[in-house]
Structure 1
Amino acid sequence: MKDNGFSRREFMVKGAVGLGLAVTVELSGLGGVLNTHAVKALAAEAAKEKAMPHVSVKLWPGRSEEDKKRLAEAIADDVVRFTGASPASVSVSIEDIPSNEWKERVYDPEIRDKADILYKKPGYSM
């Protein structure tokens, strides 16, 4: 029987692994004994989900800490909404970059040099 796209066995194991619990119990009646390899594979899968995604924002200085916190929360909310990631897995960093360093530290390495993976291009060039 499937619940939320997982078998009962998968649901129990993923839930336990997601909580950081060791799964060493016999799941008799739910598909037999879960072997060590399956537990390790599910733990690795759960660890991957918790390790992503990360968003890095670079801004000119001048915004308040409160504005940065609100921006980070808004970005995290949208990442969760669009990717289906767990809110606990999302991280956001915000870094102030002085305008006189923008071209060297941001535009050239992050915009110009990565144009092929830039999904939102700026309306300016340098």
Structure 2
Amino acid sequence: MTKRSAEKLFKVLDIYEALRDVLPTLDALLPDEAQRDEEASVIADPKTEVSSVQGRLGETTVALFCDLESSIKADNSKTPVRGGAIHPLTRYVMNYLKYACEYKNTLEQVFKEHKQPDKSGEEGGRGQNTGN
């Protein structure tokens, strides 16, 4: 509901992991929709809602990575860094990727489940290019 930014990726991934971890418990605690009374089905199926939210978080994760890619490509600074230091964008991206490595398994799962087509319309474009 807020503006997307690359810095929010890790909060999104934390919530995604929490929902992924709670789904087996929900499956064990809640009966299937077919087993519930018609009167009790006034509220939406919690398992469906959790899965839906998890799916939207996965889509947001892919979009955040695409936004990061776009912002890197859009940086046209040609000014050299004084004293030969590391460019601030390079430092930012390396720190970002270092932290993203802590979510390696979750990111692999997200990109498998929420592929984004590349610009030519082929499936699995940008989301699959993880650079092994």
Higher helix proportion: 2
User: Which of 1 and 2 has greater Rg?
Assistant: 1
TM-score, with length taken from structure 1: 0.30
Higher strand proportion: 1
Report which structure shows greater RCO (CA 8 Å, sep ≥6): 2
